[in-house]
Amino acid sequence: MKTLIINIKELLQVRDSSILKVSGAEMAILPTIKNAYLVIQNGLISDFGSMDDLPNINPEKCIDADGKMVLPSWCDSHTHIVYAGNREQEFVDRINGLTYEEIANRGGGILNSAKKLNEATEEEIYDQSKNRLEEVMRIGTGAVEIKSGYGLTVDGELKMLRVIQRLAQNYPITIKATFLGAHAFPLEYAANHKGYIDLIINEMLPEIAKNKLADYIDAFCETGYFTVEETEQIMEAGIKYGLKPKIHVNQFNSIGGIQAGIKYKAISVDHLEIMKPEDIESLKNTETMPVALPSCSYFLSIPYTPAREMIAAGLPLALATDYNPGSTPSGNMNFVVATACIKMKMTPEEAINAATLNGAYAMGISETHGSITIGKKANLIITKPIPSYYQLPYAFGSNLIDTVIIEGKIFA
Ligand code: NIG
Ligand code: FE
Is the CATH number 3.20.20.140 carried by domain 75-362?
yes
Q: What pLDDT digit, counting tens, does each position of 65-103 carry? A: 999 999 999 999 999 999 999 999 999 999 999 999 999
Out of 218, 322, 336, give the residue to mutate to test ligand 1, the one with the largest number of ligand atoms within 8 Å of its CB. Answer: 322
Ligand nearest to the CA of 147: 2
User: What is the average pLDDT across 200-217?
Assistant: 98
Q: What pLDDT digit, counting tens, does each position of 298-344 carry? A: 999 999 999 999 999 999 999 999 999 999 999 999 999 999 999 99
User: Domain limits of the chain?
Assistant: 2-73+370-410, 75-362
Residues that constitute the known binding site for N-formimidoyl-L-glutamate: 150, 324, 326
Fold of 2-73+370-410: Urease, subunit C; domain 1 (2.30.40)
Query: Phi and psi dihedrals of 139, rounded to 5?
Result: -105, 25
- Ligand 1 environment, Cβ below 6 A: 109-110, 113, 220, 248, 251, 296, 322, 324-327
Q: How far is the CA of 395 from the centre of ligand 1 (A)?
A: 28
CA distances to 45, 130, 293, 401 from 23, rounded to whole Å, are 25, 34, 18, 27
State the pLDDT confidence band at 107, using cuts at 50, 70 and 90: confident
Q: What pLDDT digit, counting tens, does each position of 370-384 carry? A: 999 999 999 999 999
**Ligand 1 atom 6, closest CA:** 327
pTM value is 0.98
User: What is the average pLDDT across 2-31?
Assistant: 98
| pLDDT at residue 111, as a whole number | 97
| pLDDT at residue 363, as a whole number | 98
Mean residue pLDDT across the chain: 98
Q: What pLDDT digit, counting tens, does each position of 133-190 carry? A: 999 999 999 999 999 999 999 999 999 999 999 999 999 999 999 999 999 999 999 9
Residue 412 scores a pLDDT above 90:
no
Q: How far is the CA of 217 from the centre of ligand 2 (A)?
A: 13
Q: How far is the CA of 326 from the centre of ligand 1 (A)?
A: 6
1-24: string of b/e by CB count within 10 Å (b at 16+)? ebbbbbebbbbbbbbeeeeebbbe
Residue 387 DSSP code = S
User: What is the average pLDDT across 264-287?
Assistant: 98
Residues that constitute the known binding site for Zn(2+): 78, 80, 248, 322
Residue 1 scores a pLDDT above 90:
no
Residue 322 DSSP code = -
| pLDDT at residue 196, as a whole number | 98
Run of H or E residues at 233: helix 228-240
| pLDDT at residue 391, as a whole number | 98
ipTM attached to this prediction: 0.97
